[in-house]
Chains A and B, each alone.
Chain A
Amino acid sequence: AQRVTQPEKLLSVFKGAPVELKCNYSYSGSPELFWYVQYSRQRLQLLLRHISRESIKGFTADLNKGETSFHLKKPFAQEEDSAMYYCALPNAGGTSYGKLTFGQGTILTVHP
């Protein structure tokens, strides 16, 4: 069964410091992975997906198949980055196509 693990429930950094939110996955095929973000009192929204290989709001994430990881990184954290971050893995194939398996989430707090 596929699984997504975010080992850190809480992560605190100071403004301007680098930040890395960890995500590890268990999946038997070639995964497509996402990071979703939920800012305070806002809807859950897609931050980035690995297939796009893009940087959104200064965040990047690289898929490492050897380590089965998809860590989210930003070199200089900003206060507005404070939010709940979820790593997610979609099922592939059959009637479950597109169903997301979420990690438990990491609450990022960026202090001034």
Chain B
Amino acid sequence: DAMVIQNPRYQVTQFGKPVTLSCSQTLNHNVMYWYQQKSSQAPKLLFHYYDKDFNNEADTPDNFQSRRPNTSFCFLDIRSPGLGDAAMYLCATSRWGQETQYFGPGTRLLVL
């Protein structure tokens, strides 16, 4: 089945230690999104890619970076995680012109 895959499902890192979360998709969608979702809150968009064009949200901290080496893969890099960055990180995809987004299962990040 075509889908959005996120690895790992759980990630533990240390305060200040860089961490990378990954997302892959078999839907061949040209738009990919990264969201941060804290407990009992709505997903908050960090950035998105339309093909290789990167679009950062104005309030996304510089600590968060992203890479999209090809259509199928997208990475979220947190350069120096703080305790406040502990959250669920959701990847989603969509096809340009169709607003429906398809979400991955998320990666829960714990910062010690």
Contacts and interface: CB of A to CB of B under 8 A. Distances in A.
A43 B96 contact: no
Contacts of A103: 42
Interface residues of A, number: 21
B100 A43 contact: no
Contacts, number: 53
A86 interface: yes
Interface string A76-98: 00000000001000100001111
A107 B102 CA distance: 21
Give the contact-size bracket for chain B. Answer: 20 to 34
Interface in A57-112: 86, 90, 95-100, 102-105, 107
A104 B99 CA distance: 19
B81 interface: no
Given A43-B106, A104-B41, A105-B42, A98 B99 contact: yes
B42 A98 contact: no
Interface of A: 32, 34, 42-46, 49, 86, 90, 95-100, 102-105, 107
